[in-house]
Amino acid sequence: MKKSESEQITHFRTANPSSVRDVNRSIVLSLIRLHEPLSRAALSEKTGIFRSNISSIVDDLIETRLVREERATPNGRGRVPYLLSLRDDTYRVAAVSIRPITTSVACSGLTARPQKVLQFKTPAHPKDAVTQIASAVRQLKAEIGMGSKKDFGRIGVSVPGLVNAHTGEVLWIPALPDYAEFPLRQELEQQTGVKIEIDNDCNLGALADMRLRQVDMGGVKDFVFLEIGDIGVGAGLILNGELYRGHDARFVAEFGHMIVDPDGPKCRCGRRGCWELYVCDRATWRRFRPSASFSEESVERVIAASLNGEKSAIKALRQTARYLAIGISNIVLALNPQVIVVAGRIMESWDQLRPFVETEFAPSQIPIHILPARMAPEPLFLQGALSLALHDVFAQPALGW
Ligand SMILES: [Zn+2]
Write down the CATH superfamily of domain 93-204+381-394: ATPase, nucleotide binding domain (3.30.420.40)
Omega prior to 37 cis, within 30 of 0: yes
| pLDDT: which is higher, 226 or 74 | 226
Confidence band, pLDDT 50/70/90 cuts, at residue 355 = confident
Measured in Å, residue 172 CA sits from the centre of ligand 1 at: 14
Tens of pLDDT, residue by residue over 53-93, are 889 999 999 998 999 999 888 777 777 889 999 998 889 99
**Across 355-383, average pLDDT:** 86
Measured in Å, residue 273 CA sits from the centre of ligand 1 at: 7
CATH number, domain 5-86: 1.10.10.10
Measured in Å, residue 380 CA sits from the centre of ligand 1 at: 24
Fold: same for 93-204+381-394 and 209-379: yes
- State the pLDDT at residue 340: 94
Measured in Å, residue 233 CA sits from the centre of ligand 1 at: 10
Measured in Å, residue 325 CA sits from the centre of ligand 1 at: 18
Measured in Å, residue 95 CA sits from the centre of ligand 1 at: 29
| DSSP letter for each residue of 344-381 | SGGGGGHHHHHHHHHHHHGGGT----EEE-SS-HHHHH
- State the pLDDT at residue 186: 98
Domain-by-domain residue ranges, the chain?
5-86, 93-204+381-394, 209-379
Tens of pLDDT, residue by residue over 291-322, are 999 998 999 999 999 999 999 999 999 999 99
Asked if residue 5 has pLDDT above 50, the reply is: no
- State the pLDDT at residue 8: 47
ipTM of the complex: 0.99
Longest dimension (CA), the chain: 73
Measured in Å, residue 275 CA sits from the centre of ligand 1 at: 7
Measured in Å, residue 20 CA sits from the centre of ligand 1 at: 46
Asked if residue 379 has pLDDT above 70, the reply is: yes
Measured in Å, residue 272 CA sits from the centre of ligand 1 at: 7
- State the pLDDT at residue 3: 47
Measured in Å, residue 227 CA sits from the centre of ligand 1 at: 15
Measured in Å, residue 267 CA sits from the centre of ligand 1 at: 5
Measured in Å, residue 165 CA sits from the centre of ligand 1 at: 22
Measured in Å, residue 122 CA sits from the centre of ligand 1 at: 25
Closest by CA to 210, choosing from 253, 251, 239, is 239
Measured in Å, residue 269 CA sits from the centre of ligand 1 at: 4
Q: Do residues 323 and 278 touch, judged by C-beta distance below 8 A?
A: yes
- State the pLDDT at residue 187: 98
Measured in Å, residue 197 CA sits from the centre of ligand 1 at: 27
Asked if residue 117 has pLDDT above 70, the reply is: yes
Measured in Å, residue 280 CA sits from the centre of ligand 1 at: 12
Measured in Å, residue 368 CA sits from the centre of ligand 1 at: 25
Q: Do residues 166 and 248 touch, judged by C-beta distance below 8 A?
A: yes
pLDDT exceeding 90 applies to what percent of the chain?
Answer: 66
Asked if residue 6 has pLDDT above 50, the reply is: no
Angle among Cα 382, 353, 337 to the nearest 5 degrees reads 60
- State the pLDDT at residue 400: 44
- State the pLDDT at residue 18: 67
- State the pLDDT at residue 201: 96
How many other CB atoms are there within 10 angstroms of residue 64's CB atom?
12
**Across 366-391, average pLDDT:** 92
- 221 vs 240: CA distance, rounded Å: 5
- 325 vs 360: CA distance, rounded Å: 6
Measured in Å, residue 32 CA sits from the centre of ligand 1 at: 43
Measured in Å, residue 251 CA sits from the centre of ligand 1 at: 14
Measured over the CA atoms of residue 32, residue 243, residue 321 and residue 97, the dihedral's sign is positive
Return the CATH class of domain 209-379: alpha beta
Tens of pLDDT, residue by residue over 149-199, are 789 999 999 999 999 999 999 999 988 999 999 999 999 999 999 999 999
Measured in Å, residue 260 CA sits from the centre of ligand 1 at: 10
Closest by CA to 238, choosing from 266, 214, 215, 258, is 214
Measured in Å, residue 302 CA sits from the centre of ligand 1 at: 25
Q: For residue 91, what are the CA distances in angstroms to 61, 86, 94, 137, 349?
A: 12, 10, 11, 15, 40
The pair phi, psi for residue 335, each rounded to 5°, is -120, -20
Tens of pLDDT, residue by residue over 244-287, are 999 998 889 999 999 999 999 999 889 999 999 999 999 999 99
Report the DSSP beta bridge partners of residue 116.
Answer: 107
Tens of pLDDT, residue by residue over 316-351, are 999 999 999 999 999 998 999 999 999 999 998 898
